[in-house]
Structure 1
Amino acid sequence: MNPTIARLAFRALVGGWRGIVLIALPVLLVLLAGLLRGLTGEPVEPDLVMVEVGLALVVPLVALLAANGVLGPEIDDGSVVYLLSTPVSRYAVAASKYLVAGGIAALVSVVGLLAASLAGGLDGEWLLVSLVTGGVGALLYTALFTAFSAATRHGMIAGLLYITVLEGLLGRLLTGLRYVSVRSVAERLGEAASGVDLGGQDLSLTYALIASAVLLIVGVGAAGWRLQRFQLRGDE
């Protein structure tokens, strides 16, 4: 990890509209949970608020914004060539940017899910679910979306297609896609830690752990490989 690159990535991510949107997404989740509890006078339905909104939308969107925020703009405007002209390993660049994006995404996701659990009146098991699935899910999504961002100018669109089409639409129709679903892996690990049924029991715990490690390594490694082949004259 390069401290200078990490510091610049942090400033680019938390400054401006990206920082505001990153915070706004979990805040909206907390408000939704609090509103539903206030209207019904009972704890919220966790499958609806925490799973279908929190895990399925808020966590991946936060990770997508974070991953694209630390690398995407530099590729879009061509300023990445100045970064890559320095004597710093491309893999170190990718790893530094991933650690910043993943760390911020995990922090925002976990805090948002924990706050939503409390606002919704859920029990302690859901606090543990929020901690594990929010943190693990954000880190895995960020690794995947960092690779997308390095591979194409349209990393944001590719990430949205993955979330909405592959995990959202096709994931409901084709059960086999759970093996390439970050959400399914995160839910399985959350189940193992808390005992709460999140619908991920079809995956073995061993597979979930191995898939997590592979995605982290391949995602960041692929981003570094792509940067290593980025032409300084600007091939994008």
Structure 2
Amino acid sequence: MSTVAWITARGLFGRRRVLLLLPLPLLLVGLAVLCRSYDVNPADWGAPVLVGLGLAVVLPVISLIVGTGVLGSEVDDGTIVHILTKPLPRRDIILAKLGIAIGVSAVTAAVPLFVAGALADSARLGLGLAVAAVVGACAYSAFFLLLSLLTRRPVLLGLVYILVWEGLLGRFVSGTRVLSIEQYVITIADKIAPTAILEAKVSLTVSVVMAVIFVLGCTLAAVDRLRSFSMAGETS
């Protein structure tokens, strides 16, 4: 399992894809520093930057890039066959790759969110955003890892989920919020650091329970999918 994790981390950071992780966090922190430097009222820029950019774009997009990359690239180039021929339980393969995806996504998103939150309000808000980002990274990573095993276009479907389901339906259709990871993240951050910048639209109980369901459900589905995976490395 540790070997798979090491190979995954080395492959992830050895590809150009990792460079895609840098611009969005830098933009988030840069905007927060700029607004703070010019004494712009946090009430005016907090929600657009922290929620509109940080929680709605930076966190899910980074998780999408990493979550679909830890296994999707091996499916695309056929090297998944070499992993499947090893005497390793499919569960260990998925857990190792999911662990790397969560770790990289959480750190890359949580650190800039903490900095931006601290600049906007306080260290407590920064901490709330960072904790929420870790929870979101777990749910998003499990979901996007599963997508990489179910389809040849996981990035496209992931963007549809982020932009259409969470970006449009999640904001205007109340019933869809129960299946919106973004809403769980906002609620968790708001409960840790209550502020007018954040507007929770689902309960904390729903957020925690559904986040756990996302992680466990997608992980179990990914393990099951890998068990029945074609040795030709093909997905449907």
TM-score normalised over the length of structure 2: 0.92
Alignment of 1:104-183 (within 5 A): 104-118=104-118, 120-183=119-182
Tell me how far 1:45 sits from its aligned partner: 2.0
Contact 2:139/2:211 (CA < 8 Å) preserved in 1? Answer: yes
Contact 1:125/1:196 (CA < 8 Å) preserved in 2? Answer: no
For 1:16, the equivalent position in structure 2 comes to 15
SS in 1 for 2:195: coil
Tell me how far 1:40 sits from its aligned partner: 4.7
Q: 2: distance between equivalents of 1:193 and 1:28? A: 25
Contact 1:129/1:196 (CA < 8 Å) preserved in 2? Answer: no
Alignment deviations for residues 161-205 of structure 1 (CA, whole Å, 9 cap, x no partner) = 1000100012223111100000111112222222235222x4222
Residue range with higher mean Cα deviation, 122-131 or 217-226: 122-131
Aligned residue identity for 2:32? A
Alignment deviations for residues 54-97 of structure 1 (CA, whole Å, 9 cap, x no partner) = 00000000100110111111111111111111111112111110
SS in 2 for 1:86: coil
For 1:3, the equivalent position in structure 2 comes to 2
Q: What number of residue pairs does the alignment pair up?
A: 233
Q: 1: distance between equivalents of 2:195 and 2:142? A: 26
For 1:97, the equivalent position in structure 2 comes to 97
Q: 1: distance between equivalents of 2:8 and 2:63? A: 14
Contact 1:64/1:141 (CA < 8 Å) preserved in 2? Answer: yes
Aligned residue identity for 2:109? S
Tell me how far 1:121 sits from its aligned partner: 4.1
SS in 1 for 2:232: coil
Identity %: 34
Gaps of 5+ in 2: none
CA RMSD of aligned residues (A): 1.7
Shift in alpha-carbon separation, 1:199–1:225, aligned structure 2, 3 A: same
